[in-house]
Structure 1
Amino acid sequence: MRQTMEDGVSEVLSSVVEDIGEAVTRNISGAQILHELLSAPWLHALLKIYECLIQFQKMKPNPFLPYASGLSYEIMTLIQRAPHPSPEARELFGLLSSPHVQALLSSHDSVAQEDYLPVLPPLPDELPEDEEAMRIVCLVKNNQPLGATIRRDEESGEIYIARVIHGGLADRSGLLHPGDLIVEVNGNPVVGLEPAKVIRILTNSTGTILFKVIPNSTQVSSNQKPVYMRAMVDYCPRKDSSIPCPDAGMSFSRGDLLEVVDQSDAQWWQARKLPCGASFARLIPSASTLKSKQREHWWCQPLHVHTCMRPQNEQTSVDDKSMTEMDNAQDIKIDEADSDFTEGIYLAGFRRSFHVWKRTSFKKRRQSCSSCSPNSNAMATPYEEVVLYQRPPQENHRLIMLVGASGVGVNELRKRLIKLNPSTFQGPVPHTTRPMREGEQMGREYHFVTKELFEYMVCNHRFVEYGESKGHLYGTSFDSIDEVLKHGRMCIVDAESHSIPILRTRKLKPFVIFIKPPSPERLRQTRKNATILTNDAVNRPFTEEDFVEMEEVSRLIETKYKQFFDSVLVNDGLQDASMKLCSIIHQAQNEPQWIPVNWILSEEQ
């Protein structure tokens, strides 16, 4: 039948095209064309089709039976009463008695009888104009918390919704909002109760929880975009007495990535930890709140040694600061034993231009007043906003920075990378004040400079690291690093951990890899036949004291600087560690990585 209707409509439309084509060919007047079109049989057929469609649109589908459930019950009763029902009858009985068919028939009867909503009594004719509307909210509590915090008005004793946690049960329902007044919980009036008692009522409630609330008339819709932060400090809500609800708080450690989804509260933000394993957010202190807490904690330490508090006559003037830095240059040990040539190719920057003796300098180094003050970097920026960054092909490679304790294998890994692929990896060529030796070339082994120029570069903060050995100064400069990157190679530096902050610039975009020692047993096994450079520039076997100190220094470096680490590599064996390091560096250069947002904003501006 449907095919017949389609064929009929096609014939009518074909006749329309033919008549119009003939009228155009004959070139007759418009009035005659209009008369012929109005009297054409196809036009009358189209009008009849239109009338049928209008009538069909006005028709309402009527059910054949408004009591399908009752009919199915009668059929099942007859089948049960039959002495010997056929297999078809038994199959029909099984279908009709299944819960899915019963639910379908019940829904059919509800629609057929137009029984959609409960009949509510009419509203009273006289309602007070100032009466507030009451909302009844029904939530089904599951294993996760409700996702809302409350506060008490001290004057009236009324309980209000303080905040709704993003992604929680209350937020997903869309029925509770900040500022809503809670009147009852499961029939229990809460006005005048302490918040702790209301929380106990909610905690002890299972299944369905019924709220009676007066909605906040000044609800503000929040469509904030997520902001991604890297934590620069540690935080534990259980140790924070000022947090509104410790159970709703989220602990984090330095270096953790946080997705901040709500910053509407000036004191408490809502965030999730990445990679995200929870659907709902938790409370963390805002940047200003956490900064205030850190400053308060620092100043209240009774035994804290504030090196910035010195008598006036002991302070160093600004003009003498740079010369004092030169006088305090660290003693270094030169590492020039390895060959700079591989298969006839000179490996620029292959040598460890100078080896700062980390074990002694770490213990003897005195912390500057800037490192202990409340305005130190971690306290000034408890959170660092970050963004995913994909290096464009036309940009320079990111600086690869390897850090780790002395003896853990940082320099060995750096040398192996450069030696295996000198066309890709290169170290910066260091500066020195020692005379050029026979066979050396300017800018190949070293940048040979005068002591006056070296001191000038120190005064202008041009060095990442520098030190003195046998009366000569050595240093790795920012210019040497830039030179490697401009030639399209990956610059690999082995620097002290305290150099990380000064290298974290928009221009270099360093990728920091912390080289970590393996387990104590594995550490002693892999270093059984290895040697270590001593204060006297003599290689000797590792001792138990060396192992203990390596583990201690590694822990101290990780504790202080782990918020800057982009990756951690355990040197469980030089061969395997080298392969893993190559993979990490490939990901750093070619895959999206989290970097500080100001590195991108500075470029756009």
Structure 2
Amino acid sequence: MMMTNASENWDPSLTRLLTSLREVQTGGEDVAFLSELLQSKQLHALVQVHNKIVAKGKDDKFYPLLSNAMQVTLEVLEMFGELKSVSKEFQEMLSLLQKPHFQAILCTHDAVAQKDYYPHLPDVPNDADEDEETVKIVQLVKSDEPLGGAQSAEPIVGATIKTDEETGKIVIARVMHGGAADRSGLIHAGDEVIEVNGISVESKTPADVLTILQNSEGTITFKLVPTFGKGGSRESKVRVRALFNYDSADDPYIPCKEAGLNFKKGDILHIVSQDDAYWWQARREGDKIMRAGLIPSRALQEGRIIHERQTEPQTMDGDKASLCSPTNGNTYCAPKTPCTPTPNAAALLPCKSTPKVKKVIYDIKENDDFDREIIPTYEEVARLYPRPGFVRPIVLVGAPGVGRNELRRRLIATDPEKYVTPVPYTSRAQKQSEQNGKEYMFVTREKMEQDISEGKFIEHGEYKGNLYGTSAESVETIVNSGRVCVLSPHWQALKMLRTPHLRPFIVFIKPPPLDRLVDTRNAANARSTFDKECSRAFTEEEFRDIIRSSTRINFLYGYMFDEEIVNEELASALSQLLKISWRVQSEPLWVPASWIQ
């Protein structure tokens, strides 16, 4: 059997198969057919395509930017359905997106991006004799991926191992999504490890097995007893916004530090697996690396936060604000001891209690003791695409005196036709110099109290016996007009504003450190906002109040913030705000998933 000249550059695997075929003593039609197939140009072309797809790290220029291109296309088509354009370009694009061949390309792209082309063998049938034990032999190429137990681990094949508490045997604890073990489709959580590279692991510890793996070169061969009914799980499509910072190096309880995924507050994470009650698998959205890492689950992180708040309360002192509020109307089950690698779920969850309810219908004073405290961990999100005729309102929130109202005024002054703030309502008498609908919307106290009781105001308060407030309808009118509604409400209004109906973009205006706050405000000859009777400079205590209030607001409502601006210099802060406004109007941004569904 002769190989053609064209086969000299063939894939080495095909070449080895052809060589082995020559050694087969028996001929026949089957051998002839197989020989012809292995030498066909079509098979060679398919193997080349396969090798280019699975080649890892050879060319960083080619990687999928997203794995749901078809879903994005469907969302675009849905948006097009709401438009009335009859332009030639619009019709051409609509026709292109609806073509079956174009959609087939996108579906193929998504399949490649999600690595659906990897082989997934069916589970081994559980019909063997009771006296026989089914085993499987799996070979993996050693790579820079974690495989370890609760002790130190070396990066090897993308799985973690542990000692089963009941049997004392070495088992696969978890398979990391996107790793070599996951891509093989042959190794599953729960599989019992019998041998590694021909060495029995009986009576050995996870650390002993890791030593064997560390000393291995090239391929690693596992002999496993498969777990039945636990085939490879498909990636979930859940995305969440992280509401806290996490560094696996500082976590003493993570099963494998090398497998940990570090992230910062505000990062978007793709949760690919929630099979483990305490350790989820996730990737940072947009990362080129497809391998997942371990992060604490929502239940585990909530338990940690509750424990920290109960055991390490902080008191108001200088520019440090209390992070433990005993008067917020909530009761928590605080664990008596720190969290462990296998915590008791009951000790991690907050006990339900009835929150206090404030009996008055309006108040402009700072009083958030009655707000229900949120345990900030993760918030499920989805992309919101800009829609013609609807511009998300920009909400500036911050402590009194931090400068959010001045920023709002300056933003509106850059383009008064584009940036608009709603006219407030009031029950006070109209002055002769005032025009109804310009400075205020003047209504009777009875009418305003009725609208407040019916929930028609996003915020309201009383000053010197008169009611003031901002109506939800006035905000909606601006939003639906295609202009940018700019608000700077009291922070307690956020729960009324942050709804699927309005979809606001919330910017937290934060003060600089105390020394810079004092220097910059004194240099700018800033006037105190705490005294409405006369114009004067801020006092030292008022500066400290700004810091304290800011910390308190961030603690209670920080999970709602989309961006943060440190208002050290007004010009710089305004520049950042203008960039944020442009993004809100033109870019798809992550929002709570409930706003899209």
* TM-score calculated relative to the size of structure 1: 0.64
In the alignment, structure 1 residue 442 sits paired with structure 2 residue 436: yes
Distance 2:16 2:182 in 1: 36
After superposition, the C-alpha distances for 1:445-502 in whole angstroms (9 at most, x for unaligned) are 2122222222223333333322222221212222221232233321100023333232
Distance 1:559 1:246 in 2: 29
In the alignment, structure 1 residue 167 sits paired with structure 2 residue 162: no
Mapping for residues 304-343 of structure 1, pairs under 5 Å? 305=326, 308=329, 323-326=359-362, 329-330=363-364
Mapping for residues 69-88 of structure 1, pairs under 5 Å? none
C-alpha displacement at 1:400, in angstroms?
0.6
C-alpha displacement at 1:268, in angstroms?
3.1
Instruction: Answer whether contact 1:182 1:211 (CA < 8 A) is retained.
Output: no
3-state secondary structure, aligned to 2:241: strand
Distance 1:537 1:244 in 2: 61
In the alignment, which of 550, 555, 559 is matched to residue 554 of structure 1?
550
After superposition, the C-alpha distances for 1:544-587 in whole angstroms (9 at most, x for unaligned) are 44444434433443344333222222334333432332221121
The residue aligned with 1:11 is none
Q: Which amino acid aligns with 1:178?
A: A
Q: Which amino acid aligns with 1:228?
A: R
In the alignment, structure 1 residue 531 sits paired with structure 2 residue 541: no
3-state secondary structure, aligned to 1:230: strand
Q: Which amino acid aligns with 2:261?
A: M
Mapping for residues 114-513 of structure 1, pairs under 5 Å? 115-116=19-20, 130-142=132-144, 145-146=155-156, 147-199=158-210, 202=213, 204-205=214-215, 207-208=217-218, 210-216=220-226, 217-233=228-244, 243-276=254-287, 278-291=289-302, 305=326, 308=329, 323-326=359-362, 329-330=363-364, 361=366, 365=367, 367-368=369-370, 371=372, 376-378=373-375, 382-394=377-389, 396-513=390-507
Instruction: Answer whether contact 1:141 1:207 (CA < 8 A) is retained.
Output: no
Q: Which amino acid aligns with 2:237?
A: P
After superposition, the C-alpha distances for 1:380-426 in whole angstroms (9 at most, x for unaligned) are xx4321111112113x2111101123333211111112223111111
Instruction: Answer whether contact 2:394 2:504 (CA < 8 A) is retained.
Output: yes
Instruction: Answer whether contact 2:188 2:232 (CA < 8 A) is retained.
Output: no
Q: Structure 1 residues 535 and 561, CA, compared in 2 at 3 Å: closer, same or farther? A: same
Distance 1:490 1:170 in 2: 50
Instruction: Answer whether contact 1:256 1:563 (CA < 8 A) is retained.
Output: no
Q: Which amino acid aligns with 1:422?
A: P
C-alpha displacement at 1:278, in angstroms?
4.4
3-state secondary structure, aligned to 2:528: strand
Distance 1:509 1:452 in 2: 31
Instruction: Answer whether contact 2:138 2:186 (CA < 8 A) is retained.
Output: no
Mapping for residues 103-122 of structure 1, pairs under 5 Å? 115-116=19-20
3-state secondary structure, aligned to 1:541: coil
C-alpha displacement at 1:431, in angstroms?
1.4
The residue aligned with 2:590 is 594
After superposition, the C-alpha distances for 1:115-139 in whole angstroms (9 at most, x for unaligned) are 448989xxxxxx9993533415343
Distance 2:203 2:272 in 1: 33
Distance 2:449 2:558 in 1: 32
The residue aligned with 1:567 is 563
3-state secondary structure, aligned to 1:539: coil
C-alpha displacement at 1:223, in angstroms?
2.4
3-state secondary structure, aligned to 1:455: helix
The residue aligned with 2:68 is none
C-alpha displacement at 1:515, in angstroms?
2.1
3-state secondary structure, aligned to 2:503: coil
Distance 1:405 1:445 in 2: 24
Distance 1:530 1:459 in 2: 38
After superposition, the C-alpha distances for 1:228-279 in whole angstroms (9 at most, x for unaligned) are 1113455565676765445433354543321111234454321123453644
3-state secondary structure, aligned to 1:480: helix
Q: Structure 1 residues 516 and 323, CA, compared in 2 at 3 Å: closer, same or farther? A: closer
Mapping for residues 29-68 of structure 1, pairs under 5 Å? 61=3
Instruction: Answer whether contact 1:513 1:566 (CA < 8 A) is retained.
Output: yes
Question: Which blocks of at least 5 consecutive residues in structure 1 are unaligned?
Answer: 1-58, 65-103, 121-126, 311-316, 332-360
Identity %: 36
C-alpha displacement at 1:507, in angstroms?
1.0
3-state secondary structure, aligned to 2:360: helix
Instruction: Answer whether contact 1:157 1:193 (CA < 8 A) is retained.
Output: no
Instruction: Answer whether contact 1:156 1:192 (CA < 8 A) is retained.
Output: no
After superposition, the C-alpha distances for 1:178-210 in whole angstroms (9 at most, x for unaligned) are 2322112355432333445545654x5464463
Distance 1:554 1:511 in 2: 19
Instruction: Answer whether contact 2:182 2:232 (CA < 8 A) is retained.
Output: no
Q: Structure 1 residues 209 and 297, CA, compared in 2 at 3 Å: closer, same or farther? A: farther
Distance 1:132 1:252 in 2: 41
Taking only aligned residues, the RMSD between alpha carbons, in angstroms, comes to: 4.1
Distance 1:552 1:487 in 2: 38
Instruction: Report the more deviating stretch, 523-532 or 292-301.
Output: 292-301
Q: Structure 1 residues 276 and 530, CA, compared in 2 at 3 Å: closer, same or farther? A: same
3-state secondary structure, aligned to 2:436: coil
Distance 1:106 1:229 in 2: 45
* TM-score calculated relative to the size of structure 2: 0.64
Distance 2:411 2:455 in 1: 29
Q: Structure 1 residues 399 and 536, CA, compared in 2 at 3 Å: closer, same or farther? A: closer
Q: Structure 1 residues 309 and 384, CA, compared in 2 at 3 Å: closer, same or farther? A: closer
Distance 1:165 1:541 in 2: 58
Instruction: Answer whether contact 1:157 1:191 (CA < 8 A) is retained.
Output: no
Q: Structure 1 residues 544 and 117, CA, compared in 2 at 3 Å: closer, same or farther? A: farther
Question: Which blocks of at least 5 consecutive residues in structure 2 are unaligned?
Answer: 25-127, 147-154, 314-323, 332-353
Q: Structure 1 residues 443 and 199, CA, compared in 2 at 3 Å: closer, same or farther? A: farther
Distance 1:281 1:417 in 2: 42
After superposition, the C-alpha distances for 1:260-311 in whole angstroms (9 at most, x for unaligned) are 112344543211234536442112244455456666777788997265389x
